[in-house]
Structures are given as structure tokens and as C-alpha cells.
Amino acid sequence: MSALFSFAVSAQDGAARTGAITSPRGVIRTPAFMPVGTAATVKAMFPEDVASTGADIILGNTYHLMLRPGAERVAKLGGLHTFMHWDKPILTDSGGYQVMSLAKLRRITEEGVTFQSHLDGATVSLTPERAIEVQCLLGSDIQMVLDECTPHPATRDEAKASLDLSMRWAERSKAAFGKMTAPGQALFGIVQGSVYADLREESARALMDIGFPGYAVGGLAVGEGQEAMFDMVEVSTALLPQDRPRYLMGVGTPQDMLGAIARGMDMFDCVMPTRSGRHGQAFTWGGRVNLRNARFAEDPSPLDPESACPAAQYERAYLHHLVKSGEMLGSMLVSYANVQFYQELMAHARQAIADKTFAAFAEDVAQRYACSEAD
């Protein structure tokens, strides 16, 4: 790691750990949840409100940003931080995942992936080198190697071939990053291997041989189920170096994140708090709340009295009305409350790890969420 980018664990509780990533644009307290700012905006939120929830870092999507407004344009306008009014750290993914889930007519070769933009049908090419170039143009603080997010389900042979390609791309990504990086920027490798423990181990070892300042675990939360996901997290964190941050990509629910923290993960991202927020689904300290439900029509109680979020103090009856009426303010308030809940969850997790009470904390949250989901 460069002197400008570092990670230190300050306390452990079993495999769970709390600490901080230090980077030029600020400290990222871990475990950390990164709200997703797909198209240079955490949807339906003012940037200052994202910051006020306690988020130390947000995620931007390379796929979306390279297509619109375009990486070169963002660079010309001063980089992604300036463009989107966010001066704290930003992590960008490599674009690989969205190419698989959103683009049309994908063709994967050794060189990279060619696809048609879902916006205008233009043919676009994404190689490991271009993925890094785009992320450097955006100016993100933590960048990700281009990988192939192995589809689920995959046979062992398919997973192995996909993994091998991803490891070759990881090596090329690092080489490109070395030529383009600015001081304090970091590139993370991504463990793949589908649901095969030996492939996950092989992938982790291959990445460690290449050497990265942080490691992600990818290709999970794609339908394999929580047990398989936790198994793959465990085999990965057992191997990955203790002194590097570990990032579980695209996860997830409060229970998924707490389970992964218990297994040694440090960073998460997920569209769930904002996407659910736009659909009237709230995350609260009392569990999930579906604000569309008619039983809230005359409920004068605040969405979440245990939350410190201003948006969570709005009455359920009013939020129900806004959601049912399709009013933007409903999306704005519930997204805000959800992102803050996720940040409060991480803050409590950090404290519980420092206090060596993490297991009890995770169990308490699981119970709150188990009850509410039975509604």
C-alpha cells in the first residue's frame, strides 16, 4: 500500500473487525456501507444529506458513467467528486457486472468485452486497460479490476474458466493502474469462483500473488442463497491478508451484512436502501416497514423513533400518503431514512466489535428483522 492509502484494524471480536481506511480524501470507518451513486447521484438524495447520514464513501458505477455523461466529459469537468458534489472518497466498480446485467449483445474475448449500450445501442468495448482508464478519468479513490462476474448457476468447469480469465484480467488491470494512477488511489482485486470453495481459494491466492491494497469478494448474492454466500465469504476471508480491507460486493440486507462482518468482511455496497426507498419499503430499527400497507394510513407514529435521521421522524400516515400518491417526496424521505439506517447499522456494528458484543448485536438485529418480515 502507498503511504497515502492505508488500513488499520483497531479491534476484533471473533473474526469481525473494526478499523479505518485512510485515504487522501478522508477516513473510511469499517465496517463501512457505501451508498450506490450509479449515475453520479445517490438516487433521490442531496449529496449533503448522504454525507449527513454518516457515509464516509459512496460507490459510482463505471458502466453507467462511461456511457453517460462519459468518462472524458467527467474528467473535463473536474472529475467525479467535483461533478457530483461529493468530496469524500468514491469507489468505482469496473463496469463488468453491469455489462453482464444491462448491456445487449455482449461478446467476451480474451481481450475484453464488447457490448451495445442499453441507452443508444452504440457498440462499446471494455478491456481491463480501458476499465482502469475510465476509473482514472473519473478520479475515484478506490478502483476495481475488470472481472467477469460468473453467472449463477455455473458448472465447476465454467466457473474455473471464468475465474482464470478474471485472474488474467486482474493482472492486466494492475499493470494499467500502475501507469495511470494518481497518488493515494488504490486498486482492489476481486475473488471469483462461484460456489466452489477450492476455486475461491485458488482465486484469492492468485490475487495475493499479484498483490493488491484491498480485496473484494464478487459474484455472490446472485441467487446462491445465504448459506452458500457465507461459506464462500468464509473460505475467502480465511485466506485474504489480515492487514488489507475486504469488500463484499453488492451485499445486501442487514442480516447478510452482519453475517459477513462476523466472517471478517469490512465493506459493502447495495442499491437496496435507495431502491427500496423509492418503492416505499423502509428499513428501521423495528424491522422492515412496507409503507404502502393500508394499516399505516392513519398511523401518526414516526417512521423510526430510534433513528437520528430527520426523515425518519416523519409520520407513517404521511409517508403512506406520499408513497400511495407517487409523490417524489416519499422517495426522498424513505431513501434518506434507509441510507441513514444502513449507516447507523454500521456505526453500531463498529461499536459492538470494539465492545466485544458483536454476536449479541447481530442476533438482536436478526430478531427485529425476523419479526417484521412476518408481517
Q: Which stretch binds a second copy (CB under 8 A): 8-16, 44-52, 169-177, 346-354?
A: 44-52
Should residue 27 be labelled a site residue for a second copy when binding is judged by CB under 8 A? Answer: no
Should residue 177 be labelled a site residue for a second copy when binding is judged by CB under 8 A? Answer: no
Listed in sequence order, the residues at least 6 apart from 139 whose beta carbon sits closer than 8 Å to its beta carbon are: 74, 75, 79, 80, 81, 90, 182
Task: List Cα–Cα distances, 73 to 39, 58, 77, 134, in angstroms.
Answer: 13, 20, 6, 11
Residue in 28, 84, 99, 199 binding a second copy, rule: CB under 8 A: 84
Should residue 295 be labelled a site residue for a second copy when binding is judged by CB under 8 A? Answer: no
Listed in sequence order, the residues at least 6 apart from 293 whose beta carbon sits closer than 8 Å to its beta carbon are: 320, 375
Which of 13, 56, 147, 269 is labelled catalytic?
Answer: 269
Task: Let me know: does 86 contact 41? Beta carbons within 8 Å.
Answer: no
Should residue 77 be labelled a site residue for a second copy when binding is judged by CB under 8 A? Answer: yes
Report the half-sphere exposure of 55 (CA within 13 A, side-chain side): 35
Closer to a second copy by Cβ: residue 64 or 88? 64
Count of residues interacting with a second copy (CB under 8 A): 32
| Cross-strand pairs, 126 | 113
C-alpha to C-alpha distance for 202 and 189, rounded to whole angstroms: 13
Residue in 69, 184, 241, 286 binding a second copy, rule: CB under 8 A: 69
Q: Which stretch binds a second copy (CB under 8 A): 91-99, 221-229, 235-243, 297-305?
A: 297-305
Should residue 44 be labelled a site residue for a second copy when binding is judged by CB under 8 A? Answer: yes
Active site residue 269: yes
Which of 49, 93, 141, 147 is labelled catalytic?
Answer: 93
Interface positions, 305-344, toward a second copy (CB under 8 A): 314-315, 317-318, 321-322, 324-325, 327-329, 331-332
Alpha helix locations (H) across 85-196? 96-102, 128-138, 156-180
C-alpha to C-alpha distance for 313 and 345, rounded to whole angstroms: 17
Residue in 183, 294, 300, 374 binding a second copy, rule: CB under 8 A: 300
Closer to a second copy by Cβ: residue 46 or 243? 46
Nearest to 258 by CA among 137, 374, 344, 345: 345
Give me the sign of the Cα torsion angle 306, 89, 251, 11.
Answer: negative
Active site residue 93: yes
Binding site for a second copy (CB under 8 A): 39-41, 43-46, 68-69, 73, 76-78, 83-85, 297-298, 300, 314-315, 317-318, 321-322, 324-325, 327-329, 331-332
Catalytic residues: 93, 269
